[in-house]
Amino acid sequence: MEALDYHAEERRKAEFDAEEMKIVWAGSRQAYEISDRVARLVASDPVFRKDNRTMLSRKDLFKDTLRKAAHAWKRIIELRLSGLFFSCGMFIPAIKGQGNDEQQQKWLPMAYKMQIIGCYAQTELGHGSNVQGLETTATFDPETDEFVIHSPTLTSSKWWPGGLGKVSTHALVYARLITDGQDHGVHGFIVQLRSLDDHLPLPGITVGDIGMKFGSGAYNSMDNGVLRFDHVRIPRDQMLMGVSQVTREGKFMQSDVPRQLVYGTMVYVRQKIVADASCALSRAVCIATRYSVVRRQFGSHNGGPETQVIDYKTQQSRLFPLLASAYAFRFVGEWLKWLYTDVTQRLQASDFSTLPEVHACTAGLKSVTTSATADAIEECRKLCGGHGYLSSSGLPELFAVYVPACTYEGDNVVLLLQVARFLMKTVSQLGSGKKPVGTIAYMGRSEHLLQCRCEVERAEDWLKPNVILEAFEARAARMSVTCAKNLNNFPNQEEGFAQLATDLAEAAVAHVQLIIVSKFIEKLQQDIPGKGVKRQLEILFNVYALSLLHKHLGDFVASGCITPKQGALANEQLRLLYSQVRPNAIALVDAFNYTDHYLGSVLGRYDGNVYPKLYEEAWKDPLNETVVTDGYHEYIRPILKQHIRVARL
């Protein structure tokens, strides 16, 4: 049977160079070529089959994951690819950021070569976001020159570290450093957990998996673990001593290296999380867009075809802002990579001036992008109707895999409140002569922003980037200034923060959304090659910004920067923009360059051949291995034949 491409006509409609857009999405031609090569290598390798993941038992799923990981490592060596991405989470970045030269020279080569497998054991059963509340102890014993790692309570059990349950040989354990009875707070320690000969836990260590998690397949391929210590001894030099150390005599000392260097690790991890947000969101949007073109419902006249779902304005108004968000998050993620390089160079030169802003920026972007992406994946599932609920759609597993991002590496609400503290401090310093810079430079024009009125008279006025930018700046500035004024009404600022936490979090969101909008504008100001590519990015920018304005219209109007009539004009322009996205929708998701194997979705197939494949997938389910189901004779037949015995009382 001839293969059909149901999206071919849609691709012919594209008003831009699709190949050039792929390069823009990838970041460079070289990045595009490398990612394309790797994706196709993986897709063509039968070991990486994943269409049966949701049907495997937990043990079989985990073993299959180990098989794939081992094969991936083998291929990395054979093809001489970089293996850095293969390491477990933050184990390597933390040693790089917090270990001294000797420790890095000892541990990093082994970790890079996978001679040891490390995990990051910070979160405990009783404490997550409150790192300073961790209970695990590391007490120095001067007689043996060792630390004694101990779990004094049930709630001090390490809980959740990925790779801990069954795989890791070592852990970077965060514990309270105690010398001579004095508590010096939480520090990192490298602790061996399992024998390198037979993988059995070492004496004093209790370790295992914490059990099934949300979703079918999904994160259940990961061995998130529980870990307890019973007076486990480690050498003194296994405390990370890049920023502080304990001498042979047991004296606690700060090293010459500034403690602020630990922020480099945090920035690295959070910029990667933002990049992952654009990746997960674009996957969901790709599936929903391709299926919305294939699916037809209602609107048939005189026996003609029904209307494509993507042509309904209700579908466009839900889907196209998510498509625009995927691009917006991609571009702000690129900027975060630059920020990581910049702050690393500054830290090495003992320049800590940008740290408060960088911390607020990365915390806020991590929070806003992951929350938006988690919500968007679920919205994409609903955009696919009933079929989106099938595991074969790929969306349920994608959602289950992604939602933990809203919690790990900083709970999203807690992070927003950290951003809010930075904003309140910025507002308090406005009269001091200290000029705000970087992402808060707009605060230096707060007097103007508190008074300005949006100059929009027609719907098309909303297409001007400077008009949009000023509206977002005015909203963010006014929300922050209002919160600062309200805080002054409380005799105790901490009480004020507690009472105004919701308003403060909303002000933080406004600030972060402004950052994303401004970085999208900066991207548009760059030299973007390719026929029609820049024009499409301009359309997506306007969709992203105006959809946010529509969603938060109350904030914009309440702050006085725009009127209700101007808000209505923004909505009018947004509807027109959806019509401009529509002919290019398939080409815009093609630019993500995802293979069918990577998407793992029948609904998101490149060729759009959805219905035969849905039918085919259904028959692969283990329930269909027998015509008459197991349990018929024991349970169904007695009911049908009325052979149920009723006990006499």
Q: Are 75 and 38 in contact (CB under 8 A)?
A: no
Our CA dihedral for 2, 14, 369, 441, rounded to 10 degrees, sits at 160
456 DSSP assignment: -
Q: Using alpha carbons only, what angle is made at residue 422 by residues 472 and 476, rounded to the nearest 5 degrees? A: 10
User: Which residue reads 């094969």 in tokens?
Assistant: 71
Alpha helices in 525-636 (DSSP H): 533-551, 553-558, 564-581, 585-590, 596-599, 610-618
Tell me if residue 485 falls in helix, strand or coil. Answer: helix
* Residue 636 falls inside a structural domain: no
634 DSSP assignment: I
Structure token digits, residue 476: 């963010």
Choose among 247, 252, 249: nearest CA to 142: 249
3-state secondary structure string, 566-595?
HHHHHHHHHHHHHHHHHHHHHHHHHCCCCC
* Residue 57 falls inside a structural domain: no
- DSSP letters along 345-361, please? HHHHTT--TTHHHHHHH
10 Å Cβ neighbour count for 609? 16
Low-confidence ranges of the chain (pLDDT < 70): 1-4, 82-88, 256-259, 261, 643-649
User: Does 185 count as an annotated binding residue?
Assistant: no
Alpha carbon distances (Å) from 269 to 163, 165, 365:
17, 22, 12
CATH classification at residue 129: 2.40.110.10
* Residue 249 falls inside a structural domain: yes
Please name the helix (run of DSSP H) or strand (run of DSSP E) that holds residue 522, with its range, or none.
Answer: helix 501-524
Rg of the chain in Å (alpha carbons): 28
pLDDT at position 26 is 94
Choose among 359, 402, 362: nearest CA to 380: 402
* pLDDT tens figures, 237-292: 999 998 899 999 999 998 766 667 677 778 888 999 999 999 999 999 999 999 99
Structure token digits, residue 447: 């007097």
* Residue 58 falls inside a structural domain: no
What gap in Å lies between CA 268 and CA 266, rounded to an integer? 5
Please name the helix (run of DSSP H) or strand (run of DSSP E) that holds residue 187, with its range, or none.
Answer: strand 182-192
Host domain of residue 187: 101-254
What gap in Å lies between CA 420 and CA 437, rounded to an integer? 17
- N-to-C CA span, the chain: 65
Q: Are 369 and 415 in contact (CB under 8 A)?
A: no
User: Which residue numbers are catalytic?
Assistant: 409
Choose among 311, 309, 281: nearest CA to 295: 309
Strands 118-121 and 170-179, sheet pairing: parallel
* Residue 86 falls inside a structural domain: no
Q: Are 505 and 411 in contact (CB under 8 A)?
A: no
Cβ-count burial 464-482 (b if 16+ within 10 Å, e if not): ebebbbbbbbbbbbbbbbb
Choose among 227, 226, 246: nearest CA to 238: 246
* Residue 111 falls inside a structural domain: yes
pLDDT at position 348 is 79
User: Which residue reads 């508190």 in tokens?
Assistant: 450
Strands 225-229 and 137-141, sheet pairing: unpaired
Q: Are 120 and 161 in contact (CB under 8 A)?
A: yes
User: Which residue reads 């307890």 in tokens?
Assistant: 228
Helix (DSSP H) and strand (DSSP E) numbers for the chain: 22, 11
Residues 6+ apart with CB under 8 A from 452: 470, 474, 561
What gap in Å lies between CA 387 and CA 599, rounded to an integer? 16
What gap in Å lies between CA 212 and CA 223, rounded to an integer? 9
What gap in Å lies between CA 63 and CA 53, rounded to an integer? 11
194 DSSP assignment: B
Alpha carbon distances (Å) from 121 to 130, 205, 405:
14, 13, 17
Structure token digits, residue 561: 């920067």
* pLDDT tens figures, 327-353: 999 999 999 999 988 988 888 788 888
CB-neighbour burial class of residue 447 (10 A; exposed 0-12, middle 13-18, buried 19+)? exposed
User: Does 123 count as an annotated binding residue?
Assistant: yes
Choose among 396, 51, 102: nearest CA to 241: 102
Please name the helix (run of DSSP H) or strand (run of DSSP E) that holds residue 245, with its range, or none.
Answer: strand 244-246
* Residue 378 falls inside a structural domain: no
Measured in degrees and rounded to the nearest 5, phi and psi for residue 150 equal -145, 145
Total domains in the chain come to 1
* Residue 164 falls inside a structural domain: yes
CB-neighbour burial class of residue 649 (10 A; exposed 0-12, middle 13-18, buried 19+)? exposed
Angle between helix axes 564-581 and 533-551 (nearest 10 degrees) is 140
Q: Are 134 and 122 in contact (CB under 8 A)?
A: yes
